[in-house]
Structure 1
């Protein structure tokens, strides 16, 4: 079953409770997320995105994953 924006945000919020999180998309398969969190400070983009993928707890793993594509924007707060 495809994931919806509120489901994705809830998973991300478990790992990043104080983050600014915006999830967009309405087809349940191809989504976009922006995560701004202090924990990203000093980490490169790859490290930040790996942290977000880990927070999704395998929902993007393999061809049978519930989430097919997630365009990510990650950064530390200004």
Structure 2
């Protein structure tokens, strides 16, 4: 079982982030929101690949699934209102 807090720590250590929230209570399936200015100009699939790269070999092994929502800071400002955060 892998803790959600450790995934958050690894993402923050490997990527300049404005906001990271990782949830998951079964230790293998997780959901998350990652906000980074690094995502500017990237397609969504590339944004997700960038986050997965911070987790390296853990993806598909210790971490079975990580469903992501990724945002640039500008898009996050809009999405926060829609999500009620």
Q: Say whether the fold is shared (TM-score over 0.5).
A: yes
2:33 aligns to what? 34
Task: Give me the CA root mean square deviation.
Answer: 1.1
Higher relative contact order (Cα pairs below 8 Å, separated by 6+ residues): 1
Unaligned regions of 5+ residues in structure 2, if any? 75-85
1:67 aligns to what? 63
Give the C-alpha shift of residue 17 in structure 1. Answer: 3.7
TM-score by length of 1: 0.88
Runs of 4+ in 1 over 3 A off after TM superposition: none
TM-score by length of 2: 0.81
Higher helix share: 2
